[in-house]
Structure 1
Amino acid sequence: MKKILTVFFLACLSCVAMAQDKDNVIDEIVWVVGDDAILRSDVEARRLFMQNEGQRLDGDPYCAIPEQMAIQKLYLNQAKIDSIEASESQVIQQADQWINWAINQIGSREKLEEYYGKKVSQIRDEQKEQFREQQIVSEMQRNLIGEIKLTPSEIRKFYNQLAKDSLPTIPTTVEVQIITFEPKIPFDVTDAIKARLRDFTEQINSGKMEFSTLARLYSEDPASAPRGGEMGFMSKTDLVPEFANVAFNLSDPKRVSQVVQTEYGYHIIQLIEKRGNRINCRHILLRPKVSEKELTEATVRMDSLYTDLKADKFSFEEAATFVSYDKDTRNNKGLMVNQNHEGNNYGTPKFEMQELPQEVGKIVYDMQVGDISKPFTMITDKQKEVVAIVKLKSRTEQHKANLSDDFQAMKNLVEQRKREELLDEWIKKKQKSTYVRIAEGWRNCDFKYPGWVKE
């Protein structure tokens, strides 16, 4: 990703130079939509960005890209008329998150400024404008579409009209239950970590070492350590409660917090800046290491549980409820929930194989429905080493969509088609009432919406 961003930055500089060299024109207006202009440099920058990101366009990019930009301007112009505005707090949050991500990818604030040739504050302002426009366009589209209500008969009609070779393929999905056990960490190990963090605090407070230097050398948070422990601006809800309660009570950037324990490990925190209800701070994270002795003991205990489960002394669901350390699944009888499944904001118990944690996926791949695995070790999303047992609750093999098994998937497909139809109709109608001018040399295109060029 660092290479992509570097190439993109250099490419942007190249496109400006190209615009300056061609016919000695610094830039030129290639489209006008309403009162807004689309510049050659805007199109070129978008093309290079998409190219470097591996995004493909159907047809000529010098036709498709300005058309995409023109459509966005139609939405933005209508949003002005309808007084639709973006949520400033959400825009700021998105821009801050993007800046944090970009710094993490490139390595430092200084390198980010070097790549873009601008101060971080200027880059943030540009990102805010992009996110603001994206949010306004999305809200405008939601207003235009409204709530789509479909009856089961409409979905069946749509399904019956589709040619069999046009039916979407539903990939193999599984439902998995899990029980985890965390090896016990001896007190002497946690006491040693706390003592080490207190020693870091003394070095920082005495001026012997900078917090950022110690974070780069010793912090076990791979995301923030390369940035000297800097986490970027976050709200309370972005942080685990134990961390947030301490961080948001800090007031002196020169002081360091007491040692804080969270589910990720042990931290010390230093304030950088407060901005409204958001905070930017540094932290150093140290995690207790599980010894072979504790890991072996945990495995033996889970072996015993596995034997009892196979002997039907109690059900997997009962064991998950009363034994498992995994708080995210314990109250759900061990059933794992896929929070990242595309098109489902509330999570689903169904996972495609590549969506499962890697260690779980390897085990589940060869299991039959109802099988219970032997204990295995895995690293959780909190970076803790645990011993786990899984049960394959269900498996649905890859197949062509059908109404009995995939009604929700078909419903989502019909809703998406309806959205596209409504937006297509609106764009065609809006074209007729909007002033559009396309420069010579940019008109000879096979546009998706031919109404741009008016005779």
Structure 2
Amino acid sequence: MKKLSTLLVAMLLISAAFSQGVRKVTADKIVGIVGDKIILRSDVYNDITDRQRRGEPVPPNADCFIMEQLLTLKALVLQAEKDSIVVGEDEIDALLDNQVRGFIQMYGGRAELEQIAGRSIYQIKEDFRQSFTERKKAERMRDKITEGVKITPQEVKEFFDKIPKDSLRYYESEVAICEVVLYPKPSRELELLAMDELAEYKRSAESGTQKFETLAQLYSDDPGSKDNGGRYAINRTEKNWDPAFIQNAFRLKDGQISPVFKSKFGYHIIKMESRSGDDAIVRHILRIPKITDEEVNNAVNQLDSVRARIIAGTMTFGEAVNKYSEEESSKFTGGCLQNNMGGSTLALDQLDKNMVEFLAKSNLKPGEVSKPTVYTDERQKKGVRLVFLRSRSEPHRENLKDDYDRVALRAIEEKKQNVLEKWFQSKISTFYLMIDDDFKDCESMSNWLQHAVKTSE
């Protein structure tokens, strides 16, 4: 049996492959059974096709590789049900809603998705319900099998020592950075100007003088939607949208344009294109009031005073973040930026381009706090920040001193995989197994095949 590090990846691919949920199979048959769980020929070969369609590498003997993963998935699901592991319908519904919202965004709208799929949104969700439920049960079962697995420093060292020297990973320079951010406030006169501009765009669109999407392309300050006429697919329950934006959008009827309103990004008007329950397609125009040099200088002076207190030791950087920082995404991490895994070290290519340029020019050293620096973020919002460089590593080959946590993570994962291997070896013989003769020559599946009942065409 192959290492199970690919198992969860495979389960995600199975559930995420949209075409599997909507493809009509003209000829199919059962090629595997684990207990009362069946595997269809289409499950195997559609997965191969989907990987090719997404431009992903297809392993040698892909049919054997995928079949083994499906047998593994079904065995974990079967055991989860025997152990009374429960997955709530609300949890599955939430996963399905997120998946469908992704499809709507990908294909340009609810109607477009239903047309491409040849199914209603409800039917698409039902197509995926079983695979999502099985994936979640298998994950819970895997967690249960490995929940007691721990790792010691000695085991981490032994794992590291087994890695061939020419196979040690190479890491580029990484940094740990924290920041205090202020966003200069525009004058009331420039706020009123932005509001008046939006009111005029609303009148033009409602009178038919200009199309809303054309106005968005010409005048919106939102780089994420400007080119497609301000269009977004949104859902009322999503937490990453500004509350004011969601509230104003879902007050509208189809074709209606909102009054001018304010969000944390600036001022907006929204046009409701179409709505179905908690899902909607909208267009919006964002205007960000201009910031004058006077407002920027006020923010610079304020942060200059904060920096002086930090350097004098009368205020810690964390205290400065809590008291002054206006950047919500990092305020609750002590102002420290985080990578996609929630860690505090980031490669330079994970930083925004303004931060990369700043680090290149500033010569800031680890432990130092920068002078206030002015920048424009990805939302085209002007800010001023203090940057605290906690640490910076040089490009290096992997070693235990600098990369212990990374090595330990891989070591414990290998240990969990070994526990899973032993669990499967003890359990395979207790399952009813049928594997079609199409897979009888799969060497990687020998452990499964020796316990399977014989089949014939």
TM over 0.5: yes
Instruction: Check if 1:349 corresponds to 2:344.
Output: yes
Distance (whole Å) between structure 2 residues aligned to residue 413 and residue 114 of structure 1? 44
1:406 matched to 2:403: yes
TM-score (ref. length: structure 2): 0.75
1:288 matches 2:269? no
Identity %: 25
Stretch of structure 1 that moved more, 150-159 or 297-306: 297-306
- Find the counterpart in structure 1 of residue 296 from structure 2: 298
CA distance in 1, matches of 2:217, 2:95: 26
Aligned residue for 2:73, secondary structure, equals: helix
Residue-by-residue CA offset, 1:57-111 (whole Å, 9 max, x unaligned): 4321111112212211111222222222323223222222222222222222333
Q: Deviation digits for residues 311-336 of structure 1, max 9, x if unmatched?
A: 99757938766665435556766x42
Unmatched segments (≥5 aa) in structure 2: 1-16
Contact residue 215 and residue 229 of structure 2 kept, 8 A: no
Which deviates the most, 179-188 or 210-219?
A: 210-219
- Pairwise CA distance, 1:240: 3.7
1:438 paired residue number? 435
Cα distance change on mapping 1:113 and 1:377 into 2, 3 Å: farther
Task: Give deviations 1:259-293, integer Å, cap 9, x for gaps.
Answer: 44221223456887686xx66574635231436xx
Deviates more, 1:209-218 or 1:384-393: 209-218
8 Å contact kept, 2:266–2:289? no
Q: How does 1:136-155 map to 2 (within 5 A)?
A: 136-155=137-156
Cα 1:375–1:279 change in 2 (3 A) is same
AA aligned to 1:352 is A
Any residues of structure 2 matched to 1:52-451 within 5 Å, and which? 52-160=53-161, 162-165=163-166, 167-195=168-196, 197=198, 226=228, 229=231, 231-235=233-237, 237-243=239-245, 250=251, 259-268=260-269, 280=280, 282=282, 284-290=284-290, 294=292, 298=296, 302=300, 317=317, 324-329=325-330, 335-341=335-341, 347-365=342-360, 367-370=363-366, 378-380=375-377, 382-447=379-444, 450-451=447-448
Report if aligned partners of 1:91, 1:132 keep a CA contact under 8 Å in 2. Answer: yes
| Alignment partner, residue 28 of structure 2 | 27
In the alignment, the residues of structure 2 paired with residue 155 and residue 112 of structure 1 have an alpha-carbon distance, to the nearest angstrom, of: 48
Distance 2:74 2:293 in 1: 59
Question: Which residue in the other structure is 2:4 paired with?
Answer: none
Q: Secondary structure at the residue paired with 1:336?
A: coil
Give TM-score scaled by structure 1 length. Answer: 0.75
2:306/2:320 contact within 8 Å kept: no
CA 1:230–1:211 in structure 2 vs 1: closer, same or farther (change >3 Å)? farther
Could you tell me which amino acid in structure 1 is paired with residue 262 of structure 2?
Q
Question: What is the aligned partner in structure 2 of residue 344 from structure 1?
Answer: none
The CA deviation at 1:130 is 3.0
Amino acid aligned to 2:290: V
Secondary structure in 2 matching 1:232: strand
Provide Cα deviations, 1:296-323, integer angstroms capped at 9, x if missing partner: 8626964996799699975793876666
C-alpha distance in 2 between matches for 1:110 and 1:246: 23
Q: Which runs of 5+ in 1 are unaligned?
A: 1-7, 21-25, 342-346
Q: What is the CA–CA distance in structure 1 between the aligned matches of 2:217 and 2:20, rounded to whole Å? A: 31
RMSD: 4.4
What is the distance in 2 between the residues matched to 1:132 and 1:200?
Answer: 47
Q: Please, which moves more after superposition, 162-171 or 402-411?
A: 162-171
- Quote the Cα distance in structure 2 between the aligned partners of 1:409 and 1:98: 31
Check conservation: 1:94, 1:128, Cα contact below 8 A: no
Say how many residue pairs are matched. 429
> How far apart, in 1, do the equivalents of 2:263 and 2:42 lie?
48
AA partner of residue 365 (structure 2): V
After TM superposition, the structure 1 stretch with the greater mean CA deviation from structure 2, 183-192 or 238-247, is: 238-247
CA distance in 2, matches of 1:103, 1:40: 29
Residues 230-263 of structure 1, C-alpha deviations (whole Å, 9 max, x = no match):
5433426444444556667x59778776544221
Q: For 2:387, give the aligned amino acid.
A: V
Distance in 1 (alpha carbons) for counterparts of 2:89 and 2:217: 33
Give the whole-Å Cα distance in 2 for the aligned partners of 1:363 and 1:62.
Answer: 50
Structure 2 contact 271–284 (Cα < 8 Å) conserved: no
Q: Report if aligned partners of 1:197, 1:268 keep a CA contact under 8 Å in 2.
A: yes
Amino acid at match of 2:296: A
The verdict on how the C-alpha distance between 1:409 and 1:295 changes in structure 2, with shifts beyond 3 A counting, is same
Q: Provide the rounded CA distance (Å) in 1 between the counterparts of 2:309 and 2:87.
A: 59
Deviates more, 1:236-245 or 1:38-47: 236-245
Q: Take 1:88 and 1:43, find their aligned partners in 2: how far apart are those partners? A: 27
Structure 2 CA distance, aligned partners of 1:435 and 1:308? 69
AA of the residue aligned to 2:348: M
| Residues 310, 284 of structure 1: alpha-carbon distance in 2 compared, 3 angstrom cutoff | same
